[in-house]
Amino acid sequence: MNDDTRLNEWFVPKFGPVRFRVFMGLLFIPYTGMCISFVIIGSILPHTILWDRVGAIAIIYMLALGVSAHAADGLGSRNVKPWGEYFSKKQLWLLMILSLVTAYSIGIYYMILYVPLLWIVAILEGFFVFSYNLELFQGYFHNDFWFAVSWGVLPLLAGFIMQTNSIGVMPLSLSAITGLISYVEIKISRPYKELKRASQDGHRMKRLEASLKIISLGTIAFATASIIYRLLLDHFANI
């Protein structure tokens, strides 16, 4: 097993074949879950919720940012391949393109029929998949600010727009908060990855890891609780 890879990350399964573990690691499940949680939070803000659209936008983000963007990140890593050579460039390109095409196929259906305003977010997120993860334009967009925009601000707005085909002060305000959360997460993640790669400063690394767990898992827990609350609210409102 290649020690240069991140197979010992806390979110990588300790069981199964190496390629399975690498694939699960490639998805960065807690951080993907964090992004999807922002989408869900945005989706359940309106008074009336169309639950099929909640599911659709969650799947779109899982495929586009959870799978496609992380595959692109593996392709765009110039100096260090965080997941080694277990997947070839061809396989990563195929994974990226298929996931992106599927995500946009679902999104286009809703954008044409119900939510044309979502095109703005779709175009911006598509741009960031390539510009951020493949480090295009000399890496200009590969920084913490644009990560916070693509991973925190836009997902919440996408969820709200998917429900209402509109925007307002409340979702914009909350998107600033989710953007800030994403910014804090990436600011912690960068030194954590360097320490993990160098196998140095175990105490600080564990402290940073604990912070990442709190941020990602806490966000997922909040989104889950919010869904349960809205489902219960809708249930009792219909009694």
Average pLDDT value for residue range 57-81 = 87
- SS3 sequence of the chain: CCCCCCCCCCCCCCCCCHHHHHHHHHCCHHHHHHHHHHHHHHHCCCCCCCHHHHHHHHHHHHHHHHHHHHHHHHHHCCCCCCCCCCCCHHHHHHHHHHHHHHHHHHHHHHHHHCCCCHHHHHHHHHHHHHHCCCCHHHHCCCCHHHHHHHHHHHHHHHHHHHHHCCCCHHHHHHHHHHHHHHHHHHHHHHHHHHHHHHCCCHHHHHHHHHHHHHHHHHHHHHHHHHHHHHHHHHHHHCC
Query: Is residue 141 assigned to a domain?
Result: yes
192-233 per-position pLDDT tens digit: 988 887 776 688 999 999 999 999 999 999 999 999 999 999
Query: Is residue 19 assigned to a domain?
Result: no
**Total domains in the fold of the chain:** 1
pLDDT at 2: 46
Q: How many CB atoms lie within 10 A of CB 4?
A: 13
Contact (CB, 8 A) for 45 and 171: yes
**Minimum mean pLDDT among 22-26, 62-66, 218-222, 234-238: which range?**
234-238
Query: Is residue 11 assigned to a domain?
Result: no
Average pLDDT value for residue range 162-178 = 97
Q: Say whether pTM exceeds 0.85.
A: yes
Average pLDDT value for residue range 157-172 = 97
Query: Is residue 15 assigned to a domain?
Result: no
User: Measuring CA to CA, which residue among 49, 38, 59 is closest to residue 174?
Assistant: 38
Q: Which domain holds residue 112?
A: 28-237
Tokens coding 236: 């009792």
Query: Is residue 16 assigned to a domain?
Result: no
pLDDT at 137: 93
pLDDT at 201: 66
Residue 83 clears pLDDT 80, i.e. is over it: no
Query: Is residue 4 assigned to a domain?
Result: no
Residue 237 clears pLDDT 60, i.e. is over it: yes
Average pLDDT value for residue range 158-168 = 97
Rounded percentage of the chain residues whose pLDDT exceeds 70: 94
Query: Is residue 105 assigned to a domain?
Result: yes
Query: Is residue 7 assigned to a domain?
Result: no
